[in-house]
């Protein structure tokens, strides 16, 4: 009987100290409270703190450039010392590949700038985008979408309102393929020649048609032929859209050969580039090789929203 009592006592003691969730909770708190002191005395932890500044990059504020107009900001980065230590403590040696970073946002954002056109992304961001203006060229859209899908990339199509009205299924196909859509006016006028009221009518009508056909709200406006005046930019801003232009023009409407088109783009493309194109035979025949060569330059390809965001690309 005495042995049974001792056995029960031992089991109760084990449950109280190990099996009891309330006790375990406080044991965990005590362990975590002791951890910082243990970490701070670890040479590895001190090594990470000492080396961290060499890996940190300050954020870049959005700004207005004299040539390129509005330039978006770009997040900086700093070392997460605690997370990096956790990553390295198993082997106990410093390894820069196991550093963990957090992003630091800039103080000035694109939305803080006065209304201004955007010709390129931040020059420190290794990403580019395609601005595909669509008002015609239906016969080449399926081929281009197939190539983009093959490379698993999403880009931005700027749709003319009148075109969407006539081709709602194609507009839906672009969105269902994972691409971003923007406003390219309703009837492709010279926006520079329009009054503010007429410019607003072109944009509002197109926004309504695109949203009705695709369910998407436009946040970017691309003026036809790149023609605008300050009033145009302000009207777009009032409609909660920013105006985008381009950095590199394929000039695909002139029907260049694939080699000519690709060389024109690759010779000029770089961090933050926005490449203008249309659904043409030249672009359809060039697109596969063009994407491959852009990737070979260690540039990611994304939508306008992705390119102009402050998120870092490492």
Query: Per-residue pLDDT averaged across 50-58, rounded?
Result: 96
Which residue is associated with the tokens 């504020």?
61
Residue 40 confidence (pLDDT): 78
- Looking at the fold, whether 191 and 284 belong to one and the same domain comes out as yes
Q: Which residues of 6-26 are buried (b: 16+ CB within 10 A; e: fewer)?
A: eeeeeeeeeeeeeeeeeeeee
Q: Residue 36: pLDDT band by 50, 70, 90 thresholds? A: low
In terms of domains, do 213 and 129 share one? yes
Query: What mean pLDDT do residues 27-56 have?
Result: 73
Mean pLDDT of 250-256: 97
Residue 141 lies in a domain: yes
Q: Name the average pLDDT for the chain.
A: 91
Percent of the chain with pLDDT over 70: 88
| Domain co-membership, 303 together with 247 | yes
Co-location of 100 and 154 in the same domain:
no
Which string of b and e fits 93-125 if b means at least 16 CB within 10 Å? ebeeebbebeeeebeeebeebebbbbbbbbebb
Q: How far from 43 is each of 33, 40, 88, 91, CA to CA, in Å?
A: 19, 8, 12, 13
For residue 16, being part of any structural domain is answered with: no
Average confidence (pLDDT) over 264-270 = 98
Contact assessment for residue 48 and residue 94, using Cβ atoms and an 8 Å cutoff: yes
Asked if 132 and 233 sit in the same domain, the reply is: yes
User: Which of 272 and 3 is assigned the larger pLDDT?
Assistant: 272
* Residue 12 pLDDT > 50: no
Q: What is the DSSP letter of 254?
A: G
Length of the chain as a residue count:
314
Give the global pTM.
0.85
**pLDDT per residue as tens digits for the range 63-74:** 999 999 999 999
Residue 30 lies in a domain: yes
In a domain, 291, yes or no: yes
208 in a structural domain: yes
Residue 98 confidence (pLDDT): 96
CA 289 to centroid of chain Cα atoms: 23
80 shares its domain with 183: no
Q: How far is CA 163 from CA 4, 148, 166, 173, 269, in A?
A: 88, 21, 5, 14, 30
CA atoms within 13 A on the CB side of 97: 0
- Provide the domain count of the chain: 2
Q: Tell me which residue range forms the domain holding 35.
A: 24-55+74-107
- Read off the CATH number of the domain in which 183 is found: 3.20.20.370
188 and 40 belong to one structural domain: no
Domain identity same for 207 and 81: no
Residue 185 pLDDT = 98
Same domain membership, residue 166 and residue 95: no
Residues 6+ apart with CB under 8 A from 29: none
Q: Are residues 164 and 304 in the same domain?
A: yes
Residue 216 has pLDDT above 90, yes or no: yes
Separation in Å, CA 146 to CA 132, 171, 219, 237, 284 = 15, 15, 25, 34, 10
Residue 43 has pLDDT above 90, yes or no: yes
The model's pLDDT over 99-127, given as tens digits with 9 standing for 90+, comes to 999 999 999 999 999 999 999 999 999 99
Residue 165 domain-assigned (yes or no): yes
pLDDT band at residue 181 using 50, 70 and 90 as cut-offs = very high
Banded pLDDT at 38 (limits 50, 70, 90): low
Task: Establish if 135 belongs to a structural domain.
Answer: yes
Do residues 86 and 148 both lie within one domain?
no
Does one domain contain both 94 and 125? no
62 occurs within a structural domain: no
């Amino acid at each position: 009987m005495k042995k049974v009592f001792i056995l029960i006592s031992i089991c109760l003691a084990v449950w109280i100290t190990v099996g009891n969730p309330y006790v375990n909770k406080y044991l965990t708190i005590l362990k975590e409270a002791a951890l910082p002191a243990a970490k701070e005395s670890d040479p590895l932890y001190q090594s990470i703190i000492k080396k961290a500044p060499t890996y940190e990059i300050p954020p870049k504020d959005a700004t207005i450039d004299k040539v390129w107009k509005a330039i978006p900001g770009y997040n900086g980065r700093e070392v997460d010392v605690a997370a990096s230590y956790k990553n390295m403590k198993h082997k106990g040696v410093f390894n820069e590949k196991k550093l963990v970073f957090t992003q630091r946002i800039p103080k000035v954002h694109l939305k803080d700038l006065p209304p201004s056109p955007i010709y390129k992304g931040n020059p420190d961001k290794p990403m580019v985008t395609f601005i595909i203006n669509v008002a015609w060229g239906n016969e080449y859209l399926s081929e281009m979408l197939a190539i983009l899908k093959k490379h698993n990339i999403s880009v931005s199509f700027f749709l003319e309102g009148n075109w969407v009205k006539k081709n709602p299924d194609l507009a839906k196909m672009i969105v269902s393929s994972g691409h971003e859509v923007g406003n390219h006016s309703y009837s492709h006028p010279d926006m520079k020649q329009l009054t503010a009221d007429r410019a607003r009518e072109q944009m509002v009508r197109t926004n309504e048609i695109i949203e009705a056909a695709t369910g998407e709200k436009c946040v970017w406006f691309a003026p036809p032929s790149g023609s605008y005046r300050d009033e145009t930019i302000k009207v777009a801003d009032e409609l909660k859209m920013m105006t985008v232009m381009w950095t590199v023009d394929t000039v695909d409407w002139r029907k260049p050969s694939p080699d000519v088109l690709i060389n024109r783009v690759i010779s000029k493309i770089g961090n933050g580039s926005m490449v203008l194109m249309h659904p043409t035979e030249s672009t359809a025949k060039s697109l596969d090789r063009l994407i491959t060569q852009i990737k070979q330059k260690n540039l990611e390809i994304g939508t306008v929203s992705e390119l102009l965001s402050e998120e870092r690309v490492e």
